[in-house]
Amino acid sequence: MPRDDSDVNRRTYLKYVGGTAAAVGLAGCSDDGGDGGDGSDGSDGDDGSDGMDGSDGEDGDDEEQLPEPETREEHLQRANLRLNERAPWIFLNRQYSVYGIASRLDWDARRDERIEAQAISVTEGEPSVTITQSSMDSGLDPHDHRETPTDNIVVQAHDGVLGRNADGDIIDALATDYERLEDGRVRFEIRDGVTFHNGDELQPADVAYSVNRVVDPEVGIESPQSDQLAGVTGAEVVDGGVEVTSDGINPIVFSLFASYCKVVQQDWIESRESSEINSDMNGTGPFQVVEYEQDVEIVYEPYEDYWGDAPEIDELTIRAASESSTRVSELLAGETDLVVNVPPQEVSRVRDEDSTEVAAVPSTRVIFNAMRYDVEPFSSPEFRRALNYAIDLDSIIENILQGFADPTGQPTLEGFVGYNEEVDPYPQDVEQAEQLVEDSGHAGAEITLETPVGRYLRDVEIAQAVASQIDELSNVSCEVEQRDFGSLAGEVTSGNIEDMPHFYLLGWGNTTFDASQTIIPLLTSDGALSSYREDEEVDELMADSQSLPGGN
């Protein structure tokens, strides 16, 4: 793509998509707080070949010439390789979601942190199941929330147009077929014979209304989920199907509909006050609400006319306990069957009990230390790479996260579209790190890592380990500053890079399983939360990728 004529469009597009993707990620980090996992399928990470071999002093100009990427995925993979080399972050780890579960249940944890009770089966005892989360819902309106706990409560009663299986692959839901008609227009064929819990039949108009209710502030509410359908401008019923329009090609549109936008009944919503919509649900999902007490619990029963496979359990209760030790105690006492976010220090309690076990799954969240490209010493790629070499990631994962994490050397996680298998995590190499610091001209630098407290699983401990390992370099000193998440997030999301901290720990969840929704907001010049706004190569790769088909 010629640079000159594409530049304006590229920047405009990135600004738009980058901004809209932003909320996807921090929403992911703002839901349940910490999670963990058992690391059983984690890659070892450090095999010595780090994809860049520590060639120092270069900034990309003298690299081996790689073939031009052609497909969208190749563009994304190339961007990941480039980012590994330029090291705008200290790449840390992928978090795990760790659940405590009664042994009498059979359930596979999902990578997107959702708990779909329909997938739970009971092998022993009463076929009723209780789930304890860290908090209850912020209201039952499927389009008026952003947090995972509310999601988990809503998804039991509401279906989306598309869905995902436990591995994150897209599956049919209320749509039986979908296709791209042209750039910016896709079509969904809506399943016949589906009924809402009030007995009314699902109409394509309900699907179109649901999409519009999310993306169009004029329809019903100003939904905080509008950015989850990034680029989507509206939906209409055409010849019995639903056609969705987008700005531009929107390569990940199906991926967005697989994760977001629950379908509601237009009449039901329009004939009710907000308070009623927030205290009851009328979806097409496998469970219908029997009892709801705000802040206390919600009880469901299976919906008999559900269009899909009938749930195996006959009663579902969801409650909350904000303290992880309380949740674990409830599980051990047999008062609940499934608890979320078991912290590493509690895992042995769950494992040691015969009646309970741990279920862990790699999540969609990456933890990293961002470095601002425009301030010294972080403006130096050598210095940034030096910090990556200073870190013993395996030891952090083993000792702080008890193995419940995977190391990463790129912003995109394994299994996502655009993940580059050739890029490995940086190995720890103190000599190399010290040499790179010397080469960068910033020997003797004193830096401060700002970290939120209690926002992510063991965030402060990770930050302290990172800082102390950097501090062990003979020519850099590093300390940790603990920050309130609200004020740190306020600075990061201010839109003004001058307000952003120089060096900070953050987590980023991306349930679209697409590299673009991490890289664009966080690592391109117009990314809403970007600390790295100098790399035209990455900008171009991402802009080009967004104009190619091949999203999930």
Residues engaged in binding another protein (CB under 8 A): 19-23, 26-27, 135, 138-139, 144, 146, 224, 226-227, 274-275, 278, 294-296, 319-323, 325-326, 329-330, 332-335, 484, 486-487, 489-490, 493, 495, 521, 528-529
CB of 100 to another protein, least distance (A): 13
- CA–CA separation, 365 and 37 (whole Å): 12
CB of 132 to another protein, least distance (A): 9
Nearer to another protein, 296 or 310 (CB): 296
Q: What is the DSSP letter of 241?
A: E
DSSP H helices, 231-306, are: 253-259, 266-270, 274-277
Nearer to another protein, 271 or 325 (CB): 325
- Do β-strands 356-371 and 89-102 pair in parallel, antiparallel, or remain unpaired? antiparallel
CB of 320 to another protein, least distance (A): 7
Residue carrying the six token digits 């083993």: 398
CB of 245 to another protein, least distance (A): 20
Say how far residue 224 (Cα) sits from the centre of its chain: 16
CB of 146 to another protein, least distance (A): 8
CB of 352 to another protein, least distance (A): 12
CB of 323 to another protein, least distance (A): 5
Nearer to another protein, 198 or 275 (CB): 275
Nearer to another protein, 240 or 490 (CB): 490
**Token pair recorded at residue 434:** 């010290």
| Beta-strand runs (E) in 341-495 | 356-371, 405-407, 445-452, 476-483
Nearer to another protein, 175 or 523 (CB): 523
- CA–CA separation, 358 and 368 (whole Å): 26
* Cis peptide bond prior to 69, omega within 30° of 0: no
| Segment (H or E) for 121 | strand 121-122
Nearer to another protein, 171 or 333 (CB): 333
DSSP string, 204-220: HHHHHHHHHHHH-TTSS
CB of 133 to another protein, least distance (A): 11
Nearer to another protein, 382 or 539 (CB): 539
330-334 long-range CB contacts below 8 Å, 24 or more apart? Answer: 330/132, 331/100, 331/101, 331/102, 331/132, 331/356, 332/356, 334/102
CB of 276 to another protein, least distance (A): 11
399-425: string of b/e by CB count within 10 Å (b at 16+)?
A: ebbbbbbbbbbbbbbeebbbbbeebbb
Nearer to another protein, 302 or 527 (CB): 527
Q: Are 24 and 512 in contact (CB under 8 A)?
A: yes
Positive or negative, the CA dihedral 305, 310, 315, 317 is: negative
Q: Are 502 and 447 in contact (CB under 8 A)?
A: yes
Nearer to another protein, 22 or 242 (CB): 22
